[in-house]
Structure 1
């Protein structure tokens, strides 16, 4: 007597635990017979460990209904004789007839199931989009592909059945993918379009019942509010992030919440409160573990912490300290984060220009523009360079290097 490895594999494919399979078998019997089944986790254990090698009657029917295939395809032995096989068919027919469904012996087509392999395939597509976005940023085609992927995930959820685990995982993924589309719109400086994506992501995150998914939506809502200059709303969103379940559990999430709050408060001209929030962000970041975290928040490294700190100092008017933070960022930012490297180089150029370092700012700005890939849509970067040009032009400088850069940079917008 050996374990039924085929049934084990099929359960793993659909993301079913023993309790979940028992529940789905009972629901299947309710749909077929009008009476809830009595399948227990012990029944399923016997099916898995080989104690039951030839399921019969209601157990057989429920298995075939849940997995949409004959029990022989699930690793169980065929009936011993042809008579047993015929008897099994007759029992199924009588069971169906008892509920008035015997006329439908040719059962209606079963809906496709959404299994773990489907969820894994969607996850790989999402990971590819994340990598591409970290290089390009703001590209409309990435945003559109994210919207299309989210639609396919939702279509799979609507058109088939899935275990509770796979269902929640898929809703979480659909929310994450929609957030990626929203961040693309934010990077392209299209906050209204981003808000439309985030309204959808908020619903999907709620359906997933996942605290991290909900946190991510609030993070992006805060960014969209800030981009629309609604800093009071941004501060309120950061408050939600700080007080979320995931922030209470993980210092990394708490740190990002405090950092977002510090930025919003700085723009609301509350310097003391902003610096307190920045101090809390630093303390929480120091406690953060280096283990497994959600893929989207891996961007929040020490380099990113320094970059976001520079935004706080810029809003508070301390451009020298902002420049120092940005130098630390650019010294340690991962090579693959091309979009962010260009963005923070542009902010470095702006910090230098605001300190009157005109020629240096021009050279840094030219370097930032050269980092952007041809297909990039990072309007945040080009807008920052545009502000840098305005700051330099306002100085009235006649330095040849500045004059040529001002003229050259006009075509970047």
Structure 2
């Protein structure tokens, strides 16, 4: 990730770990501590997109001084302490950078959310170094607004290829470029969590092309090359997921295959497990359940040495989805039991960064999808309702997804009034979330509810649903 230690005076100085901040985290996992940070932010009306990756960057010393939003949150969490007490450097020591070298400009070209022409503002103390911040002003505005937020976010995505910078192209990539690839992955995921995939996919593909151009250029150090390969693979998966969630299954399959090939070239088991995990999910959604089972089992073989029970739990759920698609109730149930047992072992330091979304809500939501596929609508509705109650408010897209699942399960289980209420809640969220997958689920619910127009709330839901604009692909 972007390092705040790269001052103009000492560009190659390695970061110094922030041991004070690590002690404050205590026995909590990075993901659990990140959830506390987001909760504290909501208490004071702030919006930060803290995840386990950000916590890791702070503890590694890559973020010498947080931006002003994070400063307010941290001081709220630990009253009576200063930033220095929390292990950060004084703000005055990390300000006042000069112009960045060509390699840093190339790294910035990879940032799909950098508002390069925006004026210097209160929440952006380093106007020449947008990668030093958890959120750019554009990302912040996208999270703070409701209607049109996805449009605002998508407008920041490109075109951003590095080939436009001739001086940068003549240099071999280094840590700045690797950090930029990792930053692009994180920001794409944050926007997808909040707004869904539609409107983001096409522009998010531009940083991916830049990342693979960096791989072709060749890094000077092996460690940097490994970071670039891992980052490019994760970026391919992120872009593939945007294609997947917006209904572009062929594009998604291509991106996942690209990530898998990248993992095989470098022997990156974590990347291989992630690529197979998403391939299994895609195969299930595309109506290829046997492939979903095989891909999920391959993911488990790759992930077993990594030592993450939570990852193995998610992969067991991917397998369960495939068995459900094959109408194999026994196979599905066995995989679900295994997923629940593995989940119960808790989090660990070995949990991959990208799994920050996987908590009790996602476990319940994926189990609901399995029972729905098997036609057990009542059990599916019970799990879907639990998922909506447990979901962190940050994951707006998932709240919409689980509620859409609940609406469909209730409709098919013979509860049209409750289904309409849930469906109306999803329609309210669609001002902020754009996902073809969710809209497709709502369309199915509407078809089921058509004969029940006289039930309470159903006519309102059907009329509002009928007025929805058709999702655009771009």
Same fold (TM over 0.5): yes
Helix, strand or coil: the match of 1:244?
Answer: helix
Partner deviation per Cα, 1:239-259 (whole Å, 9 max, x = no partner): 111222446622111111111
Q: Residue 93 of structure 2 aligns with which residue?
A: none
Q: Using a 3 Å threshold, how does the CA distance of structure 1 residues 124 and 110 change in structure 2: closer, same or farther?
A: closer
Of the three residues 443, 447, 465, the one matched with 1:390 is 447
Structure 2 residue aligned with 1:257, among 306, 315, 322?
315
Residue 115 (1) aligns with residue 171 (2): no
Q: Distance in 1 between matches of 2:221 and 2:309?
A: 32
Indicate conservation of the 8 Å contact 1:179/1:201, yes or no.
Answer: yes
How far is 1:328 from its partner? Answer: 1.7
TM-fit CA distance, 1:9: 6.3
Per-residue deviation, residues 171-200 of structure 1 (Å, max 9, x unmatched)? 111111111111111111221121122222
In the alignment, structure 1 residue 352 sits paired with structure 2 residue 410: yes
* C-alpha distance in structure 2 between counterparts of 1:404 and 1:154, whole Å: 49
The 2-side partners of 1:339 and 1:178 are apart by 20
Tell me, yes or no, if the aligned pair for 1:215 and 1:246 is still in contact at 8 Å.
Answer: no
Distance in 1 between the 2:209 and 2:307 partners?
Answer: 31
Residue-pair matches, total? 310
Q: Which of 456, 463, 472 pairs up with 1:407?
A: 463
Deviation of 1:284 after TM superposition, in Å, equals 0.9
SS at match of 2:171: coil
Measured on the aligned residues, the alpha-carbon RMSD in Å equals 2.5
Q: Measure how far apart 1:310 and its partner are.
A: 0.7
**CA–CA distance in 2 between the matches of 1:338 and 1:273?**
32
Taking the aligned partners of 2:243 and 2:216, their CA distance within structure 1 comes to 27
Cα distance, 1:348 vs structure 2: 0.8
SS at match of 1:287: coil
Q: Is the 8 A contact 1:251 1:285 kept in 2?
A: yes
Number of the residue aligned with 1:287: 345
Structure 1 CA distance for aligned equivalents of residues 10 and 457 of structure 2? 70
Judged with a 3 Å threshold, the aligned counterparts in structure 2 of structure 1 residues 126 and 344 are, in CA distance, closer, same or farther, namely: same
Q: Which residue is 1:69 aligned to?
A: none
Alignment match of 2:435 (pick from 375, 378, 381): 378
Q: CA deviation at 1:379?
A: 0.8
Equivalent residue runs for 1:14-413 within 5 Å: 111-140=170-199, 142-246=200-304, 249-291=307-349, 293-374=351-432, 376-393=433-450, 395-399=451-455, 401-412=457-468, 413=470
Aligned mates of 1:355, 1:305 — CA distance in 2? 22
Work out the CA distance in 1 between the residues paired with 2:184 and 2:327: 42
Instruction: Specify which structure has the higher proportion of helix.
Output: 1
CA contact (8 A) 1:12 1:116 kept: no
CA contact (8 A) 1:178 1:198 kept: yes
Structure index of larger Rg: 1
Conserved 8 A contact 1:168-1:209 = no
Structure 2 stretches of 5 or more lacking a match? 1-7, 16-167
Secondary structure of the residue aligned to 1:243 is helix
Deviation at 1:111, TM superposition (A): 5.0
Give 3-state SS (helix, strand or coil) of 1:405's partner. Answer: helix
Change (3 A) 1:400 1:336: closer
